[in-house]
Amino acid sequence: MSSNLATKLREGTKKSHTMAENVGFIKCFLKGVVEKQSYRKLVANLYFVYGAMEEEMARHKHHPILQHIYYPQLNRKASLEEDLAYYFGTNWREQVGLSTAGSAYVERIREVSATEPELLVAHCYTRYLGDLSGGQILKGIAQKAMGLSDGIGTSFYEFQDIPDEKEFKNTYREAMNNLPIDDVMAERIVEEANAAFGMNMKMFNELEGNLIKAIGQMLFNTLTRRRTRGATELAVEAPNS
């Protein structure tokens, strides 16, 4: 009997998904405004989030429910390490750390793994299917906005072990739809997925302040250059006036 979990997750998280897309940081991102300092802080947070999620999934890979969606080819930790080395340098491990919202996110992953591991399904759904879908759009935006060469600084979005992402998403959703769970557990997983969206939004909100400051500085620099250029032009014109 099908649980139709993937369908329930899609329908049950529509509002959260829309809210996440309307967070200031993401709205700016989608418009092509990507500031490198803010972006690398996001990458650092995601490194710890995925590290926790993938460690806990490996711990439960023989779990009667989780084993059906355990796909190591989805793992992002190694690709995030590549990106961190690009943004922070070879000593990146000494520089990166969790933000307040990132820390709460990691703690929640560890908590559900210890008390109700079935809820890890929600975290996998929220992150991995997002990476395979909208994440591919974000990759292109990030490359263009930060002037990145293909694959440099955006390894996170590259799924080298998944040759056909569309086909894989269908396989993954089918596996979720056929999980051996009842309606009560399905609702618990949908609830946890909405909570996961909320935790992601809090991480984005932390970065919004940094982004606004960066944009403000860029605007200030642009205005300053214009004023300086204008003053120079006046000085050149003055002798002939």
Return binding residues for heme b. Answer: 10, 17, 125, 173
3-state secondary structure of 216: helix
CA distances 101 to 42, 95, 98, 207, Å, are 11, 18, 8, 10
Q: How far does Cα 60 stand from its chain's mean position?
A: 23
Cβ–Cβ < 8 Å for 182, 109: no
Residues placed in the known binding site: 10, 17, 125, 173
3-state secondary structure of 206: helix
First to last CA, the chain: 88
Nearest-angstrom CA–CA distance, 7 and 168: 16
Which residue's structure tokens are 């959703």?
173
